[in-house]
Amino acid sequence: MVSTTKEGSKGPSFKILGALIAITAAVLVTVLITRPAAKTTSFTPLSGLMTLKVMAAEAMPYADAIASPNPTFIEFYADWCTTCQGMSSTVATLHQQYGGNINFVMLDIDDPQWATQVSNYGASGVPQFTLIDAQHNEIKTWVGKVPKSILASVFDQLLG
């Protein structure tokens, strides 16, 4: 029951109910304002490492790329490299876009079988991206995080 005072005003139960409604509305507004956007994808080290592993497994073997008449994009990487993990989705997107015209090769700097290539291409930091033409001439080398637009621009120029 609703209690009223002699003058017909609302009693304490309506004040409490009003306060609860106000608090609930404030909480709801706060949650709606501060929640992440529904389409936002979160990057986690595990997802980056998984993408890196999948890309390495699907990459063209180095010997096949060198024998190919296409230019080759070599990524020197390491599983423990968080920048390599962070760049994995960018490189995967570029591979989908340019993979028909450019060979994508991934060489793990911690794997002893690539020591000669690491030395020959001067891979002193990871990730290192080296683009070579069909005659094995080095066109461009980047070290660290590189925006997709920069890589795509050089690919477009190379392919004419």
DSSP code, position 38: T
Position 37 scores a pLDDT of 45
Clarify whether residues 87 and 19 are in a common domain.
no
Say whether 120 is catalytic.
no
Position 41 scores a pLDDT of 44
Clarify whether residues 72 and 144 are in a common domain.
yes
Is 139 contained in some domain? yes
Position 120 scores a pLDDT of 96
Clarify whether residues 107 and 152 are in a common domain.
yes
User: Are the beta carbons of 139 and 131 closer than 8 angstroms?
Assistant: yes
How many separate domains does the chain show?
Answer: 2
Under the banding of pLDDT at 50, 70 and 90, the label for residue 10 is: low
Is 40 contained in some domain? no
Answer left, alpha or beta for residue 112, where phi above 0 means left and psi between -120 and 50 means alpha.
alpha
Q: Which residue, among 94, 84, 6, 98, has the nearest Cα to 52 in the 3D structure?
A: 84
Q: What is the DSSP string of 41-87?
A: PPP-HHHHHHHHHHHHHHSPPHHHHHHSSS-EEEEEE-TT-HHHHHH
Of 23-32, 78-87, 102-111, least confident by mean pLDDT is: 23-32
Look up the domain containing 30 and give its range.
Answer: 1-35
Catalytic residue among 52, 81, 102, 126: 81
Clarify whether residues 18 and 68 are in a common domain.
no
Say whether 123 is catalytic.
no
Tell me: pLDDT of 4 over 70. Answer: no
Catalytic residue among 55, 59, 74, 84: 84
Clarify whether residues 18 and 73 are in a common domain.
no
pLDDT 10s digits, 53-72:
999 999 999 999 999 999 99
Partnered with residue 4 across adjacent β-strands are: 10
